[in-house]
């Protein structure tokens, strides 16, 4: 088993061109396309801050609109714009339902995390 240093993890995360996020109401699966929420093009532009401690957080909140009221959103996926390359996925915690107007936001607490193997 290999374990990377914190600096190595940060370098790898910073090398990702992660600039779009999409919402899901279940695990997005290995290709990131399962359980999509919203229309087929329901991705939003996203900016991620520099990695630190093996984590790379959203630099600013990402807002989604046009969802069904009280739509459950439990996962997000991360993509490279232009190439539609799936980079990864994460499970959401906290408030995971769209409001009555069909809006939900991913906050700067949303992170890409590079974990060591178990």
Domain boundaries, the chain: 6-11+31-113
Q: Give pLDDT, residue 41.
A: 60
CA dihedral sign, ordered 57, 42, 90, 107:
positive
| Tokens, residue 29 | 């699966």
Pick from 7, 5, 10, 8: nearest CA to 112: 10
Q: Dump pLDDT digits (tens) for 66-98.
A: 898 889 999 999 999 888 899 999 999 888 899
Band of residue 1 on the pLDDT scale cut at 50, 70, 90: low
């Amino acid at each position: 088993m290999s374990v990377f240093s914190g600096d190595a993890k940060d370098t790898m995360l910073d090398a990702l061109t992660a600039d779009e996020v999409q919402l899901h109401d279940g695990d997005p699966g290995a290709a990131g396309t399962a359980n999509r929420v919203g229309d087929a093009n329901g991705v939003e532009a996203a900016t991620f801050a520099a990695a630190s401690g093996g984590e790379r957080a959203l630099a600013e909140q990402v807002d989604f609109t046009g969802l069904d009221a009280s739509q459950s959103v439990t996962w997000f996926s991360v993509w490279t714009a232009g190439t539609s390359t799936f980079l990864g996925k994460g499970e959401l915690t906290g408030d995971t339902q769209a409001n009555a107007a069909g809006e939900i936001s991913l906050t700067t607490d949303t992170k890409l995390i590079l974990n060591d193997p178990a």
